[in-house]
Amino acid sequence: MKTWKEISLFTFQQLEKISNDPHLDELDKVCFCTCEVFGLTEYQLDNMAPKKAAKKIRHVVKLMESKPEGKVRKRIGKYTLNYDPADLTLGQFVELRHFLQGQVHSAQYALASIARVVGTTYKSDGHPIRADYFLRQPVADVLACLNCFAERYSEFLKGYNALFGLDVELYTVGEQAKSFNRRYGWVYSATAIAEHERITLDQAYGLPIRQAFNDLMYLKAKGRYQAEEQKVLMNQAKKK
């Protein structure tokens, strides 16, 4: 019978979709999941000997009551995984900021953003190829690696709490909720960094993350200072 170590991330993603489909009743969910786990068609499961089919279904129900538990690996296949967020570039950070929100369903993309071929440096080129590779790997190990990085990533960001979110002194509540800030905030930030460093946008995305964050901290402090100066000038003008 199957274990989580024999089930790929792709198959696990399909199981998640089936289990969370509000249009399926519980019986259909179990049957469809059984087909996914054992690589069967609905026809094959329907026409299988009842005892054999029931055994497979019971196994899948029991399997899905457990969680995939794997090992954190420094290397999966020909790829080395870097778990240190401080080694990221700004481009990697922006990618991961998006991919980690998707959790299981974008796990392959997140790992592809921290993976490199053994003996080489990280390159953004080949990201889709790496993602497809991780999609076919055992879900237990993939999720263990992803969770390890996500924890370290979260701890790393705690050192930069002041960077995230808009200053309430500079923006209204309505502006904080604007879709532009949610969707394009980091594109705007990367553009500001590029202008500050007098480099291209592509070069800005290649900057070490600590350097990029330090630039942003300076630019944010500068923006706050300029806004306060503007308020002073406006108040002085009103008094005249």
The string of pLDDT tens digits covering residues 10-61 is: 999 999 999 999 999 999 999 999 999 999 999 999 999 999 999 999 999 9
Residue 237 pLDDT exceeds 90: no
By C-alpha distance, which of 24, 146, 31 is closest to 96? Answer: 146
Higher local confidence (pLDDT), 2 or 178: 2
* Predicted pLDDT at 8: 97
* Predicted pLDDT at 188: 84
Question: CB within 8 A of 211, min separation 6: which ones?
Answer: none
By C-alpha distance, which of 17, 122, 164 is closest to 111? Answer: 122
By C-alpha distance, which of 13, 41, 2 is closest to 143? Answer: 13
Mean pLDDT value of segment 97-121: 93
* Predicted pLDDT at 53: 96
> Is residue 71 within 8 Å of 139, Cβ to Cβ?
no
In percent, how much of the chain has pLDDT > 70?
Answer: 89
Higher local confidence (pLDDT), 96 or 177: 96
- Kindly list the domain boundaries of the chain, sorted by start residue: 4-64, 75-159, 165-239
* Predicted pLDDT at 210: 95
* Predicted pLDDT at 114: 97
Higher local confidence (pLDDT), 235 or 128: 128
Torsion of CA 119, 124, 130, 131, to 10 degrees: 150
What's the whole-number average pLDDT of the chain?
89
The string of pLDDT tens digits covering residues 186-213 is: 888 899 999 999 999 999 999 999 999 9
* Predicted pLDDT at 166: 46
pLDDT band at residue 160 using 50, 70 and 90 as cut-offs: confident
Sheet of 75-76: strand order equals 75-76, 79-81, 115-117
Per the structure block, which two tokens stand in for 53? Answer: 């089919």
CA distance 186 to 207: 14
* Predicted pLDDT at 167: 46
> Is residue 4 within 8 Å of 144, Cβ to Cβ?
no
Higher local confidence (pLDDT), 181 or 82: 82
What global pTM score does this model have?
0.85
Comparing 33-42, 69-78, 143-152, 163-172, which segment has the lowest mean pLDDT?
A: 163-172
pLDDT band at residue 95 using 50, 70 and 90 as cut-offs: very high
Residue 139 pLDDT exceeds 50: yes
